[in-house]
Structure 1
Amino acid sequence: MRPLPLFDDVANEARQHFIYRMIRDGNYEAERSVLRAWSEGFKDRDGKFCHEFQTSFEPCLWELYLHAYLKEIGASVDFSSSSPDFVATNGEDFCIEATIAAPAEDQAGPHGYSIEDLPENLNRFNSEATVRICNSFTSKVKLLRQRYKLLPQCQGKPFVLAIASFDRPFSHLAAMRPIISALYGLYHDEEITIELGAREVVSYAVDSVVKNEQTNIGIGYFCTPEFADVSAVIFSSLATWGKVRAVAESPEASAVYTTFHPNPGSLYPIVRTATKPDYREHLLDGLCVLHNPFAEHKLAPSTLGHGRLAQAYVRADGEINFVAPDDFLLMRHLVSVKTRCNGSQADS
């Protein structure tokens, strides 16, 4: 199947997303090729995808990424049904519904930011990011119970929610902390760790997160059977425009990549820096599948597994076990040097 005509304008110029226009008009042929490749085999079932790609961008980017992920692991997708987003097979049948953690109303999105937007308080930053993830999770669970689980293509199969973070400037800095809090009720507190000078990251159980002065939101969705109809969550804070740039074959690009990786026995991650000609990033680096121990239809580890991604499980003793490559991508920071304007541009 041919790629989608993603860059043939169908949306009014005034409604086009900033990043879409930048990719379309800039010197980004390699990146456009990546996105076209991700779209190969993807079926636009309602005839609206290209319009939404050009106007909303991030939700469509996430769907294209998930489609590329499923192709990478050898899964086959059946697009004959209008929903959910992916009805697939890879050793077993399963369904995926995609969503993003979007900005709160009237709040800034994850693009066009500057150094002034860096969070001053990591706990507040992570707490707000958790709220956005929780909103996305519960909204999709509501649809699952009202609609999706009644569909014949979903019955008796593991149902997976796929969530990506696009909720604020520097949203990638929250990394895995908000999703671990939301699903497993465990929070890693850097502020307290720094304050105490601790040798290990201070972690503790949490059962709610503050939404506003009047409201707390219960979390730990995978700590009880209440959400047994969700088999797992696919999550990434790095399936962004930065991912497209990272995997694109563009050795001439003036870009510097700084990446962070696990460092066993140390509070501090391994930090690596490379310019584009020397930088390599796999499509699935930074991706994680988090399993629900109470799932009604459990997902086999091999179904969504790959050597470059992480999978999270809850052990019998209640501890979270992550199975991941030694150099798992925790975070990526990309700086593009634009000599024409004597400045630089940061991408997540």
Structure 2
Amino acid sequence: MDLFQPVVPTDKQHDIFQVLMHPSLGPEREVIQGWAAGFVDRDGKFVKEFQTSFESSFWELYLHAVLQDLGMNLDYSFHAPDFVITAPMPFVMEATIASPPQGGTPAHGVGKPEIPDDFGEFNRQAILRLCNSFTSKVRKYRQHYAKLVHVRDRPYVIAIAPFDRPQAHFAANRPIMATLYGIYFDEVTTIASQAENVVTHELEVVSKNDTVDVPVGMFSDDAYKDVSAVVYGPLATWGKVRALADAPERNIEFTTIHPSEGTGLMPEVRRAVKADYIEHLLDGLYVFHNPYAERPLPSDVFDNERLGRIIVRADRDLEERCPNDFLLMRMVGPVVNP
């Protein structure tokens, strides 16, 4: 499957695909083409969708690469869901993205990234888009997938990536924690109050508008017991491709944010030019388990030192299993000489 042999006219191609076709970006194309090794185009439409809509296909290719990197066996003989895993234990996984609302600004763009003016509002909108993506895949499961013989009695995992607005990755894990567990990390209040610990709120709903509230905390009770876990990839973006590309001559700098080694609230910020920067395929990827799942996904299925995993203990407290240098955020820009 050649992803970069154009099958649609230029005017139908996605902006990011057109960028990727630049002659100088061969190493970046090699990364994505490498992700496709062993991937099966079951309906004969994947290359066209990759070249025209891009983001959902890009996310699916990344997940394929992740599952292979974790040593899982994939069975592409079924038409759905997106991934049928047969070993080390059988489960199924459906991929989706959080897309912009109708009329909203797409995630892709050019120019210098703009920091959101109001992170509270930025996070609220991100939560709403994640809720929409999550519930749509639950409906798909209940109406269709659950009836399939190869799906029945297997854990069902939803894999979501946020592409709902420019710089969607700035929200990090805040919106997904609210969406799944009803816990909101309020950095705005934390900073304003100079609190010693991060201020958190328990949420049951998030306002969509003056008359509509959207329920959150999908994993706070058994309402979604048919979903075993959520895989979440806020940093599976163009920046991931640039990080993995074998192009040490690139005049770019990576600014990354990691948990602080001390007890303070301020995270650790690191900077490295491309030639010195190292990032793993799995860096920045999360797995969130549902404590009410009727078919639980064992916590060790995604056991890898680079992954961030959220487990709910028997006492219902959340347990984070993340590397000390977990990739919370990544920004890529040109090297600025002093």
- TM-score normalised per structure 2: 0.97
| Alpha-carbon distance in 2 for matches of 1:27, 1:103 | 30
**Among 63, 67, 77, which residue is 2:74 paired with?**
77
Percent sequence identity over aligned pairs: 46
Which letter does structure 1 place at the counterpart of 2:7?
V
Is the contact made by 1:90 and 1:303 (CA closer than 8 Å) also made in structure 2? no
Aligned match of 2:205: 208
SS at match of 2:219: helix
| Alpha-carbon distance in 2 for matches of 1:45, 1:116 | 37
Q: Deviations over 1:243-265 (max 9, x none)?
A: 01111111011110000001141
Aligned match of 1:12: 9
Aligned match of 1:285: 283
User: Could you say what the CA RMSD is over the residues aligned between the two structures, in angstroms?
Assistant: 1.4
Following TM superposition, by how much is the alpha carbon of 1:336 offset from its aligned partner in structure 2, in angstroms?
3.5
Q: Which runs of 5+ in 2 are unaligned?
A: none
Aligned match of 1:65: 62
| Alpha-carbon distance in 1 for matches of 2:245, 2:49 | 23
| Alpha-carbon distance in 1 for matches of 2:266, 2:108 | 27
| Alpha-carbon distance in 2 for matches of 1:164, 1:336 | 25
| Alpha-carbon distance in 1 for matches of 2:75, 2:292 | 27
Out of 217-226 and 21-30, give the one that drifted further: 21-30
Task: Give the ranges of 4+ consecutive aligned residues of structure 1 lying more than 6 Å apart after TM superposition.
Answer: none
Written as runs of structure 1 = structure 2, the 5 A alignment for 1:263-274 is 263=260, 264-274=262-272
**Among 176, 192, 197, which residue is 2:194 paired with?**
197
Following TM superposition, by how much is the alpha carbon of 1:116 offset from its aligned partner in structure 2, in angstroms?
7.6
Is the contact made by 1:113 and 1:169 (CA closer than 8 Å) also made in structure 2? no
| Alpha-carbon distance in 1 for matches of 2:160, 2:134 | 8
Q: Deviations over 1:277-324 (max 9, x none)?
A: 000000000001000000111111221221100110112332211101
SS at match of 2:265: coil
* Alignment pair present for 1:296 and 2:294: yes
**Among 220, 224, 229, which residue is 2:226 paired with?**
229
* Alignment pair present for 1:247 and 2:244: yes
Aligned match of 2:178: 181
- Rate the CA distance shift 1:202–1:75 in 2: closer, same or farther, 3 A: same
Aligned match of 1:344: none
- Rate the CA distance shift 1:26–1:215 in 2: closer, same or farther, 3 A: farther
- Rate the CA distance shift 1:90–1:305 in 2: closer, same or farther, 3 A: farther
SS at match of 1:212: coil
**Among 320, 327, 334, which residue is 2:332 paired with?**
334
Following TM superposition, by how much is the alpha carbon of 1:180 offset from its aligned partner in structure 2, in angstroms?
0.4
Q: Deviations over 1:210-261 (max 9, x none)?
A: 1122211000000010101000000011001110111111101111000000
- TM-score normalised per structure 1: 0.94
